[in-house]
């Protein structure tokens, strides 16, 4: 394995050097262990693609652990970090939407120097360089020594926001707030976390509205033990949310407007449900386009996720220097932020080992799926599936919710300095 690693390293170093010459950038080899701060023109790049929870965590950990001969570049087109957990609430409740977008300025605050947030979109990943949709430091290509893919998955709005800038994201949430306020009846399509949280938030914040959640399966949150469905069903009954299961919605090609022009939702079993507003909260789709052109068996055709080893390296041995983690990785782990952050530790250890000329040995641990989700403005629940050999889930009901979901903690944890309310608009 070491022989193969060295051979790949030699090929990679030559390719990177050629690219670097074209871009006017010199590159150091693995053997350069100079611990002194070096010019950015002599750095080897470690690239993280995707700046959500897991990508942010990976970039920070790598910047803290790697020697000064390496530069960590977080490539993410968004101007601000998207606090996705708050999106369902802020699409319903007004006056907090601007807090869901946190500046990236604090990401390398504890490791100042050569590391950077590259505000661009990666359009392609090659074996030794990435291609951008806009120039950075005079070039649309960036060579790399190691790459970490953290592109995650995408959801229909408002579960995710495609716009790159904060004002556009804020306006999207306000459009949903306006549509919800104006509608007397609302149908939410999809019984995952986004759909359940929006249904309970809307019904508690606007108790006079008729709210229906439609889910194609018999149980909502189907990746979890059925006791979570029971908890949610009970909460729906308390609030008066209508639950329709067992049939898919026939979604028109143009989607649904937010201006109240909808009159009904059609189900594949022939039923129709009268409503004035439809919100899609359907499943996740993997963001795998960037590596679809690489040779080899990169993507699992069954689910669209990137095949990885337990070390989180790409499964194809030709790409030992490419890693995938979080939601995009076909790792067997539950797709959520907490296990993804644990994976960032594994990736960091393995890249550090490889920089030192050692074999990567850190591997992921796959635990039972868990979630912390709101069930209205105050009630929420922490739920974890039973571990192997056990039959009962771990459940912790809570009633300590606050209207803005305690979003200020995200700003503090991400190094954003807030001294006055106006700072949340930055």
SS3 184: coil
pLDDT (tens digit per residue) in 9-45: 544 454 444 444 434 343 333 333 333 344 556 799 9
Token pair for residue 111? 């490791």
pLDDT (tens digit per residue) in 147-168: 999 999 999 999 999 999 999 9
Token pair for residue 321? 């220097």
CB 88 within 8 A of CB 399: no
What percent of the chain lies above the pLDDT cut of 70?
90
SS3 382: strand
Residue bearing tokens 């670097």: 20
pLDDT (tens digit per residue) in 368-399: 999 999 999 999 999 999 999 999 999 999 99
Q: What is the pTM of this model?
A: 0.90
In this predicted structure, what is the pLDDT of residue 41?
62
Q: Report whether pLDDT(266) > 60.
A: yes
Q: Please state the separation of Cα 128 from the chain's center in Å.
A: 24
Whether the bond between 300 and the residue before it is cis, its omega within 30 degrees of 0, is: no
What does the alpha-carbon distance between residue 148 and residue 131 come to, in Å, rounded to a whole number? 15
In this predicted structure, what is the pLDDT of residue 113?
83
Q: Report whether pLDDT(1) > 60.
A: no
- Give the closest residue to 256 by CA, choosing from 281, 271, 284, 277: 277
Number of Cβ within 10 Å of residue 302's Cβ equals 7
Q: Report whether pLDDT(74) > 50.
A: yes
Mean pLDDT of 305-311: 98
SS3 225: coil
Return mean pLDDT, the chain.
91
- Helices assigned H by DSSP within 224-311: 226-239
Q: Concatenated DSSP letters for 88-123?
A: HHHTTSTT-GGGGEEEGGGTTTTS-SS-EEE-S-EE
CATH topology of domain 176-283: FAD/NAD(P)-binding domain (3.50.50)
In this predicted structure, what is the pLDDT of residue 40?
57
In this predicted structure, what is the pLDDT of residue 2?
45
- What architecture does CATH give domain 2-155+285-355? 3-Layer(bba) Sandwich (3.50)
CB 318 within 8 A of CB 294: no
Token pair for residue 253? 């090609």
Specify the higher pLDDT residue, 120 or 2: 120
Number of Cβ within 10 Å of residue 226's Cβ equals 13
In this predicted structure, what is the pLDDT of residue 39?
53
pLDDT (tens digit per residue) in 188-236: 999 999 999 999 999 999 999 999 999 999 999 999 999 999 999 999 9
Burial of 30 (C-beta count, 10 Å sphere; 0-12/13-18/19+) = middle
Number of Cβ within 10 Å of residue 13's Cβ equals 18
- Domain boundary assignment for the chain: 2-155+285-355, 176-283
Strand partners, 285: 154
Token pair for residue 124? 């392609």
pLDDT (tens digit per residue) in 77-132: 999 999 999 999 999 999 999 999 999 999 999 888 899 999 999 999 999 999 99
């Amino acid at each position: 394995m070491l022989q193969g690693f060295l051979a790949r390293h030699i090929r990679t170093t030559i390719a990177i050097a050629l690219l670097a010459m074209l871009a006017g950038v010199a590159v150091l080899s693995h053997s350069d262990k100079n611990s002194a701060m070096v010019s950015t023109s002599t750095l080897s790049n470690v690239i993280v693609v995707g700046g959500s929870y897991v990508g942010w965590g990976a970039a920070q950990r790598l910047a803290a652990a790697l020697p000064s001969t390496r530069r960590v570049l977080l490539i993410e087109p968004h101007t601000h970090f998207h606090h996705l957990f708050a999106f369902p609430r802020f699409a319903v409740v007004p006056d907090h939407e601007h807090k869901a977008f946190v500046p990236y300025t604090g990401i390398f605050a504890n490791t100042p120097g050569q590391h950077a947030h590259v505000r661009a979109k990666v359009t392609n990943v090659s074996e030794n360089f990435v291609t951008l949709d806009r120039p950075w430091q005079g070039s649309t290509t960036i060579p790399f020594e190691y790459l970490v893919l953290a592109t995650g998955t995408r959801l229909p709005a408002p579960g995710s926001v495609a716009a790159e800038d904060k004002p556009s994201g804020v306006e999207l949430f306000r459009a949903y707030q306006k549509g919800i306020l104006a509608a007397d009846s609302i149908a939410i399509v999809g019984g995952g976390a986004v759909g359940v949280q929006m249904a309970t938030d809307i019904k508690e914040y606007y108790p006079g509205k008729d709210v229906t959640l439609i889910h194609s399966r018999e149980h909502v949150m189907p990746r979890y033990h059925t006791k979570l469905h029971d908890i949610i069903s009970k909460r729906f009954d308390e609030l008066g949310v209508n639950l329709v299961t067992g049939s898919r919605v026939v979604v028109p090609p143009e989607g649904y407007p937010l201006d109240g022009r909808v009159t009904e939702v059609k189900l594949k079993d022939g039923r129709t449900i009268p409503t004035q507003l439809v919100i899609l909260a359907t499943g996740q789709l993997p963001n795998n386009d960037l590596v679809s052109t690489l040779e080899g068996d990169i993507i699992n055709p069954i689910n669209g996720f990137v095949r990885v080893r337990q070390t989180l390296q790409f499964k194809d041995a030709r790409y030992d220097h490419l890693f995938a983690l979080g939601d995009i990785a076909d790792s067997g782990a539950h797709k959520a932020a907490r296990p993804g952050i644990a994976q960032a530790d594994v990736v960091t250890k393995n890249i550090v080992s490889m920089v030192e000329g050692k074999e990567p040995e850190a591997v992921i641990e796959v635990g039972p799926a868990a979630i912390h989700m709101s069930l209205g403005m105050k009630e929420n629940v922490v739920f974890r599936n039973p571990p192997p050999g056990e039959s009962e889930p771990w459940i912790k009901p809570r009633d300590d919710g606050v209207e803005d979901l305690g979003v200020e903690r995200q700003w503090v944890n991400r190094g954003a300095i807030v001294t006055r309310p106006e700072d949340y608009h930055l």
